[in-house]
Structure 1
C-alpha cells in the first residue's frame, strides 16, 4: 500500500476517543473481545462435547479420536490464516474479511448449538476454521492501519488490543463452560454464537464513524488476468477435492486417521516449503539468508513449545475432567474453568515481563536464550503434572492446584517465547517476505497441533507419567541444546539481538 493511501486512512480515523487512542481502537477492541469470547467459549467445552456419551448430551466419540480432532481443528485454524490474509490482500480488503469471517464463525457456532449428527458437527468446524482464518489475522492488520508509522502510541495500542483478546479468553470459559457443562452443551455453543453476533453488531455499528477508511483498501488487488488464473485454479481445486471426497470416503480411504495424518504432513511440509523458497529466492540477500538459517532453530523450538502449551485444551482438559478433584474450598469447579487460567496469568504477568526486560536492558538474554527459557518452562509444566501420579498413583483424584501450577509455569514460558518470537520474526524476516514470514511464525503453532494430533493418541491414565515425562523431558533437553548453541545462532543473526 502506498504512503499516500496510508496517510489518507489515518486522516480519516478520529485520533482521540478511546483512552487517548484513535476511536477505531474501541471498535477493534470489542470486536476482538467478543470474537475471542466466542472462540474460547466454544473451545472450552468442545472436547468434552465430543467424548461425552450421547446420554450426557455429547457425541460419544472415543477419547483419543476427540483429542486428535481437537488438535487438528486448532492446526487448521492457524493454517487458514494464510488463506484469509491472501483473500484480504488480493480481493476484498481487511474490513470485509473481518465481517465475512465473523458471519462464518457465528454460523459455525449456531450449527454446534443445534443437536444433530456428526456431519453437522464437521460442517460447523469447517465454518469456524474458515471464519477464524478470515477474521483473526485481518482484525490485527486494521489495528496497525489506524496509526501513522511514526505514532508513538502504536505499541501501546496493540497492548490494549492484546488485553481485549485475553479478557475475552478469560471470561468465556467461566460463562460458556459453566452453562455448557452444567446445563447443556448446545446452550453453551449458542452463547458463543451470541458473543460473535454482539461482536459483529459492534463492528458494523461503529466502523464507519470510528474506522474511516481503515480496512477498505485492497493492498494488492488481482488484475483481470490474475482473476481468471486464480479463479480457474480455485475452481479446479474445489472440483478435485469434491471428487476425492466422493470417491475416498465411501471406500474408507479417507477417514479420521488418514485425514489426521494428512494434516500432520501438511503441518511439516508447508513451513519447509516456506523456508526453502525464502532461502533460495534471488530477492533474499546474503545477510537475510543467514538470518533465515538462524530462524530455523527458533521455529523448531516454537513448535516444541506450542506442542505442550496447546495441550491445555486437550490432554489437560481431559485431566481436569477425569483426574482432578473438582470440589475445592467449598465450591464446585467446572473442568472448563481451567481454560481461563492461561489468559488470566498473561493479563497479570505480561506487564511484569515487559518491565523486567526493559530493566535488564543490554544484560537481558538474547533471543535464542529466551527461547531456551520458554522450552525449559514448558518442559517443567509437564514434569509438574506427573508428580501427583508419582506420589498418589493414577487412580486417585488430585488437587486442582497441581493443574493451576502447571498452567502458571507454561505461561512463564509463553511470555519468554511468544512475544519475543513475534518481535524476532519482524527483525529476521527477509524484506521481500516480511508478511509471509509472519504467517510462517503462526504456522509453528499449526505444525505443533498437527503433531499433537498424533501424540495425544498415546495418552491414558495408565501411562500418564510416561507421557508427561517423555514430552517434558524432550522439551528440557531441547532447551539445553538451544542454550548451548545460542551464541552460534546469534552469529547467524548478523547484528540482530
Structure 2
C-alpha cells in the first residue's frame, strides 16, 4: 500500500467523531436542552448539515490551491475543537457560535482527507476502490465512537460533558496529523507547485476567506429560508457547471463526465434518505418507537451505531466480494452498485410503514422494524457513498477533481435541505409527539419515498448498458 494510507485512516477516524456527535444529538439537544420546537430543530439541523456538505465544495477549491490539504485539515480540527467548546454551554447564542465553528471544521476536513487519499493512486489502480472502502470503514469507527458517546450522555441528558468529550477527541486527531505531517505532503497540486512567496500569499488569501466565512455562516444559520435558497441555487449552478465541462470535452472525457453527472443525480435520492437520520428518524425513534429491548432502553444516539457497525463489517467484505467478481471477468460498474444501493434503500424505507401497521394500541412501533431499516440503509450507503468518492478519480480529469469531489458532498447538502422539509412533513401539521397522531403522516411520507426510490433504481438499472459504454478510466482513454 502507498505510504500515507494508514495515517489518513486514523486521522479520518478521530476527526469524524465530532461530526458524528452532532449527527446523532443536534436535533434532540435543541429539543431537550434548549426547548426549541421539533419543526424549528429540524429546520436548523437541515441548514447546518446543508452548509456542512456545501462547504466541502469550497474546501475542494481552496484545498490544494490556497492551502495544502494537510494545512486545511489542521484548520478544520482546530475549529471543530472550538465549536465543541461553545456547544458545551447550552444557550441559544452559544449554539450559533458553536455551529459556526463546527461548520468551518467539518466543512473543510472531509474533502481534503479524500483528496489526500485519492492522490496516492492512479485513476486505473485496481486498489483504489478497495482502499476507499477501507477508509470509509475507518470513518465509521469514528461514527461508532461518536454515537456511543451520544447515547451514554443522553441517558442523563448531559450534553455539556458530551461536547467537552468530543473536543478532547479532536486533540487526538491533531496529534495523529502532527506525527504524520511529512507523509501527508501534497502531490502534484497547484499549491505544491508554487514558490515559497506564492504559498505565503495563497495562505493569506485562504485566511481571508475563512475570516469572511465566520460571520457569514453565523448570520445564515439564523435565517433558514435564505440558507435553503442559497444551497439549492448554488447546487443547480454546480450541476450546470458539470454539464458545461462535459460538453467542453470530447470523446471519453465527455462520456465519463456525463456518466458522473447522471450518477450524481441518482445518488441525490439516496442522500435525502440518509439525511433523514439526524432529523425525522431521530425524532421518530425518540417519540414513536418502543426502544426497550431485553430490558435495556436503547438511546436514540446508539441506534445510529447499527448503521456504522454494519458498514465497518460490511465495507471490507463488500470490497473483497467485488474484487472476486472482477477477477472472474465480471464487469461490475459504478452504475451496478448505485442501482443495488437504491434497491436496498427503497426496501429499508418500507420497514417504517410496515412497523407502523403493526404498532401497539398506544401507537408505539417495535424496535426491530427500525433495526431492519438501519441495516438496509447501511447496505445502501456502502453501495453508493464510498463508490461516489472513488468515481471522482475514475471519471473526472485531474484538474477538475477537487471541485467535483466537493460537488459530490454538496449533493448531500442539497439532500439535507430536502430532508428537513420531509421530516417536518412527516411530523404532520399538529405539534404533538403522540405516536397515534404522527404515525399516519410518517407512514405516508416513508411509503412515498420508498416507491420513489425504487423508481430511481429501475431507471439506473435500465441505463446500465449506456453506462458500460460510457465509463472508462481516464488513464486508459488517454
TM-score, normalisation: structure 1: 0.81
The structural deviation recorded for 1:319 is: 1.3
Question: Given the alignment, which residue of 457, 468, 472 partners 1:479?
Answer: 457
CA distance in 1, matches of 2:346, 2:368: 18
Q: RMSD between aligned alpha carbons?
A: 3.7
2:289 partner SS: coil
Question: Given the alignment, which residue of 116, 122, 125 partners 2:96?
Answer: 122
Residues 304 and 158 of structure 1: is their aligned pair in 2 closer, same or farther, counting only changes over 3 Å?
Answer: closer
Is residue 263 from structure 1 mapped to residue 241 from structure 2 by the alignment?
Answer: no
Residue 392 of structure 2 aligns with which residue? 425
Q: Greater CA deviation, 354-363 or 303-312?
A: 354-363
Residue 185 of structure 2 aligns with which residue? 214
CA distance in 1, matches of 2:80, 2:206: 27
Residues 481 and 90 of structure 1: is their aligned pair in 2 closer, same or farther, counting only changes over 3 Å?
Answer: closer
1:61 partner SS: coil
The structural deviation recorded for 1:144 is: 5.4
1:439-450 pair list within 5 angstroms: 439-450=406-417
Is residue 279 from structure 1 mapped to residue 241 from structure 2 by the alignment?
Answer: no
Question: Given the alignment, which residue of 77, 86, 103 partners 2:61?
Answer: 86
Residue 306 of structure 2 aligns with which residue? 341
CA distance in 1, matches of 2:66, 2:99: 24
Question: Given the alignment, which residue of 47, 50, 72 partners 2:47?
Answer: 72
2:382 partner SS: helix
1:397-408 pair list within 5 angstroms: 397-408=364-375
The structural deviation recorded for 1:183 is: 4.1
Q: Greater CA deviation, 451-460 or 376-385?
A: 451-460
1:92 partner SS: coil
Residues 448 and 231 of structure 1: is their aligned pair in 2 closer, same or farther, counting only changes over 3 Å?
Answer: same
2:142 partner SS: helix
CA distance in 2, matches of 1:494, 1:307: 28
Q: List alignment gaps of at least 5 residues for structure 1.
A: 1-19, 53-57
CA distance in 2, matches of 1:148, 1:416: 22
Residues 370 and 150 of structure 1: is their aligned pair in 2 closer, same or farther, counting only changes over 3 Å?
Answer: closer
Residues 431 and 464 of structure 1: is their aligned pair in 2 closer, same or farther, counting only changes over 3 Å?
Answer: same
CA distance in 1, matches of 2:163, 2:120: 33
1:90 partner SS: coil
Partners of 1:145 and 1:214 within 8 A in 2 = no
Residue 10 of structure 2 aligns with which residue? 30
Partners of 1:41 and 1:172 within 8 A in 2 = yes
1:117-156 pair list within 5 angstroms: 118-143=92-117
Is residue 375 from structure 1 mapped to residue 342 from structure 2 by the alignment?
Answer: yes
CA distance in 2, matches of 1:27, 1:297: 33
The structural deviation recorded for 1:231 is: 5.3
Residue 13 of structure 1 aligns with which residue? none
1:271 partner SS: helix
CA distance in 2, matches of 1:480, 1:393: 35
The structural deviation recorded for 1:302 is: 0.3
Residues 200 and 411 of structure 1: is their aligned pair in 2 closer, same or farther, counting only changes over 3 Å?
Answer: same
Q: Greater CA deviation, 330-339 or 151-160?
A: 151-160
Question: Given the alignment, which residue of 56, 75, 80 partners 1:100?
Answer: 75
Residue 10 of structure 1 aligns with which residue? none
The structural deviation recorded for 1:335 is: 1.3
The structural deviation recorded for 1:202 is: 3.5
Residue 321 of structure 1 aligns with which residue? 286
1:179 partner SS: helix
For residues 390-449 of structure 1, what are the alpha-carbon distances to aligned partners after superposition, in whole Å with 9 as ceiling and x for unaligned?
233794222211111001111222222223333333222245423333222222222222
Partners of 1:90 and 1:220 within 8 A in 2 = no
Q: Greater CA deviation, 358-367 or 396-405?
A: 358-367
Is residue 165 from structure 1 mapped to residue 139 from structure 2 by the alignment?
Answer: yes
For residues 2-25 of structure 1, what are the alpha-carbon distances to aligned partners after superposition, in whole Å with 9 as ceiling and x for unaligned?
xxxxxxxxxxxxxxxxxx874x55
The structural deviation recorded for 1:40 is: 0.7
- Which structure is richer in relative contact order (CA contacts within 8 A, separation 6 or more)? 2
Partners of 1:278 and 1:430 within 8 A in 2 = no
CA distance in 2, matches of 1:432, 1:160: 26
Partners of 2:7 and 2:180 within 8 A in 1 = yes
2:185 partner SS: coil
CA distance in 2, matches of 1:141, 1:199: 18
For residues 283-333 of structure 1, what are the alpha-carbon distances to aligned partners after superposition, in whole Å with 9 as ceiling and x for unaligned?
x22332233222332111100011112212221111111111122112121
For residues 159-218 of structure 1, what are the alpha-carbon distances to aligned partners after superposition, in whole Å with 9 as ceiling and x for unaligned?
5544431211112211232114424111111111111122223433x235xx35725983
CA distance in 1, matches of 2:399, 2:80: 32
Partners of 1:142 and 1:215 within 8 A in 2 = yes
TM-score, normalisation: structure 2: 0.84
Partners of 1:345 and 1:411 within 8 A in 2 = yes
Residues 444 and 25 of structure 1: is their aligned pair in 2 closer, same or farther, counting only changes over 3 Å?
Answer: same
For residues 32-79 of structure 1, what are the alpha-carbon distances to aligned partners after superposition, in whole Å with 9 as ceiling and x for unaligned?
222112221232211101122xxxxx1121212212222222221122
Residues 456 and 394 of structure 1: is their aligned pair in 2 closer, same or farther, counting only changes over 3 Å?
Answer: farther
Partners of 2:59 and 2:108 within 8 A in 1 = yes
Partners of 2:137 and 2:315 within 8 A in 1 = no
CA distance in 1, matches of 2:448, 2:138: 36
